[in-house]
Structure 1
Amino acid sequence: MNENRNSFKGSIGFVLAAAGSAVGLGNIWRFPYLAAKDGGGLFLVIYIVLALTFGFTLLTTEIAIGRKTKQSPLTAYSKLKSKWKPLGIIACIVPIMIFPYYVTIGGWVLKYLLVYITGNGHAAAQDGYFSGFIGQTAEPIIMMLVFTIIVAFIIFRGVNSGIESSSKIIMPLLIVLVLGVSVYSLTISYTDIDGTTRTGLQGLGAYVIPNMKGITVKQFCTVLMDAMGQLFYSLSVAMGIMIAYGSYVSDDANLGKSINQIELFDTIVAFLAGVMIIPAVFVFMGRDGMTASGPSLMFVSLPKVFDSMGFAGNVIGAIFFAMVFFAALTSAVSIMEAIVSSFMDEFKLNRNKATAIETVIGIAVAVIVCLGYNKLLFDIKLPNGVHAQVLDIMDYVSNNVLMPIVSIGTCILIGWILKPKTVIDEVEKTGIKMGRKGLYTVMVKWVAPILLFLLLLKSLGILTII
């Protein structure tokens, strides 16, 4: 079914939608933590190099596959090569697994946004507030339901009226909020009871200045793997999203230019996420506070930072969580669209039926994720050493196992079976030459699959030397 194909009205709509997908929770709560943990500027330099090489390769490949086949991730691979249907199935399983826990976290963000809007930020900063909230049975489910309904409404409206139109409104707002919080974060200062004063600019230095003291080959390799893993979160590759969005791009669009814009947009926002968070956490919590990640950063550490700002904390907290809400919303929309488009293409469903089915499935699994912090609470240790419950297991399987497998398979298919010329010809369809053509060929055939294989071994706990 080709319903709503080629329906992005222009390249701006596509770029904003794709960038909106890329700018999500992974950028906001994972990027700053990794940058702080991995030597500040050292991580930034490696990340930017990888974004221009490794990330460029994966992003270009998936978008080109989508536009060439005019299919969703579930069906695109088999259209390229009939025997490669299983890779499409795995590529579709990834967003199906991610969506339920993503909307659960989206519900958490909505809860905190409401807390700060109503002026109750001080309560959110108290010890045990976050664990008390997710430990409840009803409220996290209610917040998840509200967030999911908002996402589903956008998907129901379609690619043009829903995804593209909402992206054109939300993304400019998101950028304004990101810039505003970033600038404010650099202006703050705090003096401890012992008289030590820390400033936002000092925190910025801790973020951007490379710390090479005592760096070893093993530590450098660890930073490399961390930066490469972050690219999955940052660019939304290996989730089927870029294939789905690529299938909606017209044949006369300048694909190379759009890909460059998406890369630039995402890298800038990822960097600004660190500018927003690291200086503020450094000022009020010191270097030790900079190593918090995931939910503990977003819902525990930052509320304490906002509370330390006095009256302004509620305002800044509300602006911050509004920004996070928009980022989570655009990413959740893209994840759901990858699933809905797959259902439409594989089972010949119309958009309304496909969206309704995925909404029901997503909510049912998301309820289990919510209950994983109370009624269904358990604790197991994953191969990467993380003590996990339902959400962590789903995140580990989708992000650490299936996504590298999808990308490795994609590189093998394009690099060795169909040959890189397949993607290069698609990018150059309009007559505009593809930049970094030689780099792309080397990356997709050799460098990317090798790095991805090492990342997979590391995620599985098999490779322990890095």
Structure 2
Amino acid sequence: MTNNRSNFTSKIGFILAAAGSAVGLGNIWRFPYLVAQYGGGTFLLCYIILAVTFGFALMTAEIALGRKTRLSAIGAFSALNKKYRFIGVLAALVPILILPYYSVIGGWVIKYFTVFISGQATQAAEDTYFSEFIGQTGQPIFWFALFMVFTAIVVLFGVEKGIEKVSQFMMPLLVVLTIGISLYVLTIDGAWEGVKYYITPHMSDFSLKTLLAAMGQLFYSMSLAMGIMITYGSYMKRSTNLEHSVRQIEIFDTGIAFFAGLMIVPAVFAFSGGNTDALNAGPGLMFITLPKVFASMPFGSVLGTAFFILVFFAAVTSSISLMETIVSILMDYFHWERKKTAIIVLVYCLLMGIPSSLGFGVWDFIQPLGMSILDAWDFISNSILMPIVALLTCFFVGFVIKPKTIIDEANAEGAKFKSVTLFTVVIKWVAPVILIAILISSVLNAAGIYTL
């Protein structure tokens, strides 16, 4: 194990960086439309309960694995038991698959920011604007490359001077923007009906589908089962209280998701006259429905510009963590220096992201698994690999190295891990059952046998 590993310089630096990883596009656009699709407050309640139980247990395990071994995913599993190195390899595959296509979407965000800041909100609200834009060849690739290069520059500067400093700047601004836009939205006529729908649970809306959807969102939102939290944990000082840090990351992540929903659900509700169908636009919510909402509002261009700055901050803090995870794994394995590794990863991502971009245009005839290229990568990484990695991690912690290994790490340097029973029960018994259910439902859903 290496002794000269970089460290976050402070507890707040670690929390903001890890929270920045967790807070991404999943919080800003995926969470609100899932809330609408699965009964508003019912989904919200399920998500919060899962976040403070399952999310807490798995995030604690991953950060502790990284901090204990001072290594990224492959090295961490191998150091604790060489037979289970393959779990680290699978975890490493997740960011390798996600980062290129995620950055394509990040490029779309930059494009929309430039559209709104240049006063073209009305054009962006047209029905065909988004499909025509992503169907082009040059423009989407240009914005994707710009997003990718910005991400690489931050990673190039390293943990302290790059990731930590950018996170300390972007995360507080992201919080202020999210809360500020949410409060403004509440002043719009008809918005309060949307608030009631958003925060009021109705148990008649509860179903297994709601639970599984909330669980799937938790992965997407909290950067679990990607090797990210193991990598960030490896940069965490042992003097930093692990349990408190995880709880604070959860508060950041769930809080941003909550305010994103409070921003988007009431706005669309007011715009559509209370018709929740407008919220069921899925991925199109952010790029098709919301521009229409902004165009219909007073000061819509200003609000749209602020919104897409917010989304850019969320997207780029997550892309930084994805890229840093890949860079860290390669540096640990091949003993390369950071600059060389970051450039190699940048070139890889640029080459791999182009097919995902062209899949909506000149390559739209290529339909792996009956999906666009981007959607296929998303399905493989999020619906198949991540539940498998999480399930194997639970088995590894629960029955191979035993929960005591993680508990001892959480108790390092006089800290007192208070959630021992919760952690042990969830990681050994509760989480595996839910993860198997998610994996089965994902496969059946893809086969058209079961619709989530």
* TM-score in terms of structure 1 length: 0.94
Q: 1:143 to 1:381 in 2, by over 3 A?
A: closer
Of 250, 257, 281 in structure 2, the residue corresponding to residue 292 of structure 1 is 281
1:74 shift after superposition: 2.4
Q: Is it true that 1:241 corresponds to 2:228 in the alignment? A: yes
2:67–2:234 contact (8 Å) kept in structure 1: yes
Aligned to 2:386: 403
Aligned to 2:253: 266
1:238 shift after superposition: 0.5
C-alpha distance in 2 between matches for 1:275 and 1:183: 9
Q: Percent identity?
A: 50
Q: Secondary structure at the match of 2:413?
A: coil
Q: What amino acid maps onto 1:302 in structure 2?
A: L
Deviations 1:309-365 (A, max 9, x none): 14x110000000000000001000000001000000011111111101100000000
Aligned to 1:418: 401
Q: Is it true that 1:389 corresponds to 2:372 in the alignment? A: yes
Aligned to 1:54: 54
CA RMSD of aligned residues (A): 1.5
C-alpha distance in 1 between matches for 2:450 and 2:121: 42
Q: What amino acid maps onto 1:57 in structure 2?
A: A
Aligned to 1:125: 125
Aligned to 1:329: 316
Correspondence list, 1:356-371, <5 A: 356-371=343-358
1:4–1:248 contact (8 Å) kept in structure 2: no
2:367–2:373 contact (8 Å) kept in structure 1: no
2:6–2:159 contact (8 Å) kept in structure 1: no
Q: Secondary structure at the match of 2:412?
A: coil
Aligned to 2:167: 167
Correspondence list, 1:1-150, <5 A: 2=2, 5-150=5-150
Aligned to 1:433: 416
1:432 shift after superposition: 1.5
Q: 1:458 to 1:381 in 2, by over 3 A?
A: farther
C-alpha distance in 2 between matches for 1:6 and 1:65: 16
1:137 shift after superposition: 0.4
Deviations 1:263-292 (A, max 9, x none): 111111111110010000000123221222
Q: Is it true that 1:348 corresponds to 2:335 in the alignment? A: yes
Correspondence list, 1:300-311, <5 A: 300-310=288-298
C-alpha distance in 2 between matches for 1:259 and 1:210: 27
C-alpha distance in 1 between matches for 2:56 and 2:279: 29
After TM superposition, where is structure 1 displaced by more than 4 Å over at least 4 residues in a row?
Answer: 379-382
Q: 1:250 to 1:224 in 2, by over 3 A?
A: same
Aligned to 1:207: 198
C-alpha distance in 2 between matches for 1:416 and 1:305: 51
Q: Secondary structure at the match of 1:460?
A: helix
Count of residues paired in the alignment: 447
C-alpha distance in 2 between matches for 1:140 and 1:152: 18
Q: Structure 2: which 5+ runs fail to align?
A: none
C-alpha distance in 2 between matches for 1:435 and 1:223: 30
Deviations 1:205-236 (A, max 9, x none): 111112334x4xxx511111011101001110
1:203–1:282 contact (8 Å) kept in structure 2: yes
Deviations 1:50-84 (A, max 9, x none): 11111011100000000011111122111111011
C-alpha distance in 2 between matches for 1:244 and 1:381: 31
2:368–2:376 contact (8 Å) kept in structure 1: no
Correspondence list, 1:275-286, <5 A: 275-285=262-272, 286=275
C-alpha distance in 2 between matches for 1:130 and 1:305: 15
1:378 shift after superposition: 2.7
1:465 shift after superposition: 9.0
Q: Structure 1: which 5+ runs fail to align?
A: 190-198
